[in-house]
With several copies, the nearest count.
Chain A
Amino acid sequence: MNKITPSIEDAIAGITDGMTVMIGGFGGSGAPIELIDALVARYKATGSPGRLTVINNNAGNGAVGIAAMIYADMVAKMVCSFPRSTDSRAFTERYQAGEIELELVPQGTLAERIRAGGAGIPAFYTPTSFGTDIAKGKPVAEFDGRSYVQERWLKADVAIIKAELADRKGNLTYNKAARNFAPLMAMAAEKTIVQARQVVEPGAIDPEHVVTPGIFVDMVVEIADAKQEEALLREAALVKEGAGA
């Protein structure tokens, strides 16, 4: 069993038109920039994979990561909780032009729906969004005198996530708050593709400290000096300021 793939292109080769893709990260922390870049590069070179449904907390910022995917017109639909960011022009433009679909999901419901997808729970009830526009059309039920909304699981064809350490069996750790949605997405996707800062020998991660057990992981690419989305955005802003001055 060896889930390590030397080539990032090989790792993403199975992602095809129309797929639902979960992408780890919250804002810039945990965004798998190199995997996204490789997807965008392939789309620009071959026209595929297009018409993607992307699941992420946000809808891209600046011109990197998911925003780059949107600018490249690869994304047909976003499922997210907060598509507004300091600089979410890419999504806003396409959305207001009616060129991209949006499914808005409260953040906790998004997390729980993804976990449910990974845990084989097709539906659950939550107090979140009861009585609001978000709940329109969803079944409601009362338990112990309180009202709840029924929400369905979320699954994906592929998850692409960023990890800290990985071994050939797919066990993962994360870096600080970059963990966020990644362990859930790894559970909920048919295939989980990981970019890890470092590949280590099995056993090098203490069994007590494994965050994502290898059963949820399919492929691992080592990207030692991965870009950090927020850092990229700040660099770009500085360049822009400089250019404007």
Chain B
Amino acid sequence: MTVKLTNAQIAWRAAQDIQDGAYVNLGIGFPEMVAKFKPKGREVIYHTENGVLDFGEAPPAGEEDWDLINAGKKAVTLNPGASFFNHADSFAMVRGGHLDVAILGAYEVAENGDLANWSTGPKSVPAVGGAMDLVHGAKRVCVITDHVTKDGKPKLVERCALPLTGVGCVTTVYTSLAVVEIIDKRFVLREKLPSISMEDLQAVTGAKLVVEGACKDLIVPEV
């Protein structure tokens, strides 16, 4: 099983499902990459927890305004129609269900929609940020992740072993091998790489993959 999507390709695939006019929050790090692959012709409005709506790309090096940053503390620019607001209003947008899509990374996703993405255990300094709010706000809570850990262990599991970020909150998982929706506490397989068999995919997945209707080929260009 040497064939799998790169992180960029996973981000590309997730980006295809973001509709024109969507309000989107991209988590810090890998999820930020999704913005690069917005399909042409679609207008997407990005929200960041620290109180900016409709921000744009990073400014050229040397032109940063460090009072104009995103939640990852990276400098950003503004699109026409941007707005600033305080943190309570920002999380009213999140918690109040006003975002269409939130995209986050994951350590583990369970078939019941539970997500673990904030703590690998009691050793490190705990830090949760806005993830616990984001998973309960957006209409679609999407995870992008490698299908397995660096050690080859499944990240899609029956029950999360790590500390939870949220209960029953994930709607879609985009992995390096497949696209999986969580429906009625089951992993419903929507797409898989054509190069991997159902058996091999199930073997690296920690919970049952259900096929309902068609399972399409997961086809992603080189990006």
The reply to whether A and B meet directly (CB within 8 Å) is: yes
Q: Using a CB–CB distance below 8 Å, which chain A residues touch chain B? A: 1, 26-30, 57, 81-86, 88, 91-92, 95-96, 102, 104-112, 114-115, 117-121, 126-134, 147, 167-169, 171, 174-184, 187-188, 201-203, 207-208, 210-211, 213-216, 228-231
Q: Are B87 and A104 in contact (CB under 8 A)?
A: no
B96→A120 contact, CB < 8 A:
yes
Q: How far is the CB of B70 from chain A (nearest CB, A)?
A: 8
When distances are taken between beta carbons in the complex, the residues of chain A under 8 Å from B58 are none
User: A108 contacts B86, CB within 8 Å?
Assistant: no
Proximity string of chain B (41-82) to chain A, C-beta cutoff 8 Å, 1 when within and 0 when not? 001010111111110000000000111110101000011111
Choose one: A88, A211, A214; the contact of B45 (CB below 8 Å). A214
> Knowing A111-B91, A120-B137, A216-B98 touch, does A104 contact B127 (C-beta < 8 A)?
yes
- Measured CB to CB, the residues of B under 8 A from A are 20-21, 23, 43, 45, 47-54, 65-69, 71, 73, 78-99, 114, 119, 124-133, 136-137, 163-167
Q: Per a CB cutoff under 8 Å, which of A96, A117, A126, A215 touches B93?
A: A215
Closest Cβ–Cβ distance, residue A205 to chain B (whole Å): 8
Residues of A within 8 A of B80 (CB): 201-203
From B82, B89, B90, B164, contact of A133 by CB (8 A): B164
Q: Is the CB of B91 within 8 A of A108?
A: yes
Assuming A108-B94, A119-B91, what are 14 further A-B pairs, CB within 8 angstroms?
Answer: A57-B87, A81-B127, A106-B131, A106-B132, A132-B132, A169-B54, A171-B83, A177-B50, A177-B52, A177-B69, A179-B84, A210-B83, A213-B85, A214-B45
**How many angstroms from the CA of A85 to the CA of B125 in the assembled complex?**
11
Smallest CB separation, A177 vs chain B (Å): 5
Name the residue on A nearest B122 (C-beta): A133
Pick the contact of B84: A102, A187, A208 (CB < 8 A): A208
From A92, A131, A182, give the contact of B125 (CB < 8 A).
Answer: A92
**Contact indicator A109/B133 (Cβ below 8 Å):** yes
Q: What are 8 A-B residue pairs whose CB atoms fall within 8 Å in the complex?
A: A26-B50, A111-B88, A115-B92, A131-B114, A132-B132, A180-B87, A182-B86, A213-B53
CB B39 to nearest CB in A, in angstroms, measures: 14
Nearest A-chain residue to B137, judged by Cβ: A120
Residue of B48, B78, B96 with most partner-chain A CB within 10 A? B96
**A53, chain B: closest CB distance, angstroms:** 18
How distant is A179 from chain B, measured CB to nearest CB, in Å?
Answer: 6
Q: Is the CB of B88 within 8 A of A184?
A: yes
